[in-house]
Amino acid sequence: MKKPTISLVLGDPAGIGPELVAKVLSKDENRKKVNIIIIADERELLKGMEIAQLKFPYKQIKEAMLPNLVFEEGVPVLIDHKCTNPLPLEYGKSTVQNGQYMLETLQKAVDFTLKGYSQAICFAPLNKQAMHMGGLKYRDELHWFAELTGFKDFVCELNVVDDIWAGRVTSHIPFKDIVSSLSIEGVVDGIELLNKTLKQAGVENPKIAVQALNPHGGENGLFGDEEITIIKPGIKIAKERGIDVYGPYPADTTMKEVQRLGIHGVLSMYHDQFATALKLLGFERGVTVQGGIPIPIATANHGTAYDMYGKNKATPQAFQTAFDIVVNMATNILKNK
């Protein structure tokens, strides 16, 4: 089978992203299992190697070469992208130019993938404040990616630790708006998105658990009726569509049920409901997958760590896992073509 190709972006140059990229790509096995298009200012790539005190081979090419490119074994190619903002990039803080740099390199990665030059995208940690300073008009990168890819349906940030994937019906909204934002359709969409993404990641028969909203799962309407009017009807529809789905489970016992039943994916009702338990399971291994959009995109589930810039103290475990997930999903795309 043809080897997959991924586009790789350094994330925020002011943080630990370039260092993480150097630590992951310095491993021969990572460079040999996938073809890699790096989209970055070469100076930032080299700074990452300098900070990590590690090197790896790469070849700088022009964008015009991508349609007919033949990769050398274990040698990523670099598209040397200089930010259109004339101000120099700065380190250890959020700036307009750093935000523009992130947006420009990510947009190229999406463009390359839509054109078929790569099958998936892996990016190092971003900083939302810098991205908004640099011109991001959406509340987060996920909804921007949906716009760039022309995707109009349900999208959801998925968090992954080990073999457990977590999605949610509502995400970056105030807590007071959660109940009014829930719907049967939203529950069904969330279950279907998890099921589809798990299959893309190689899980043949996903098992999905859904969380209740209220204490004790509502106690048959005593503590709230959203389980009766919204969540259970959504689960019923998903089951009728052939999805192996369970619940709703009270939030404080969901992880126990996940472990007992061998659940692959959990759908919560709001941002932190299941994420707290998941991150306690292994925050340093956590990955974020941009769920729903038509191309696989993943990153480490932690921030830019501005205070660690230049210190060679960044642990690459989560970024390595994100890299592995993206490679796996890209491989499955080619396998299923």
5-151+293-335 and 156-278: same fold?
A: yes
> In 3D, which of 180, 176, 102 has the Cα closest to residue 136?
102
CATH fold of 5-151+293-335 reads Isopropylmalate Dehydrogenase (3.40.718)
pLDDT, position 284: 86
Confidence tier at 1 by pLDDT (50, 70, 90): confident
Whether the Cβ atoms of residue 244 and residue 207 lie closer than 8 Å to each other: yes
Could you report the per-residue pLDDT of 19-56, keeping only the tens digit for each? 999 999 999 999 999 999 999 999 999 999 999 999 99
Q: What is the pTM of this model?
A: 0.93
pLDDT, position 20: 98
pLDDT, position 37: 99
CATH homologous superfamily, domain 156-278 = Isopropylmalate Dehydrogenase (3.40.718.10)
Could you report the per-residue pLDDT of 311-337, keeping only the tens digit for each? 999 999 999 999 999 999 999 999 887
Average pLDDT over every residue of 246-260: 96
Q: Higher confidence at residue 206 or residue 1?
A: 206
pLDDT, position 278: 93
Q: Partners of 160 in the beta sheet?
A: 165, 287
Confidence tier at 87 by pLDDT (50, 70, 90): confident
Average pLDDT over every residue of 57-86: 95
Q: Which amino acid does the sequence have at 210?
A: V
Q: Is the pLDDT of residue 307 over 80?
A: yes
Taking the domains of the chain in order of start, what are their residue ranges?
A: 5-151+293-335, 156-278
For every residue of 166-179, DSSP letters joined together read: EEESS-SS-GGGHH
CA distances from 55 to 19, 26, 50, 311 (A): 11, 6, 8, 17
Could you report the per-residue pLDDT of 117-176, keeping only the tens digit for each? 999 999 999 999 999 999 999 988 999 999 999 999 999 999 999 999 999 999 889 999
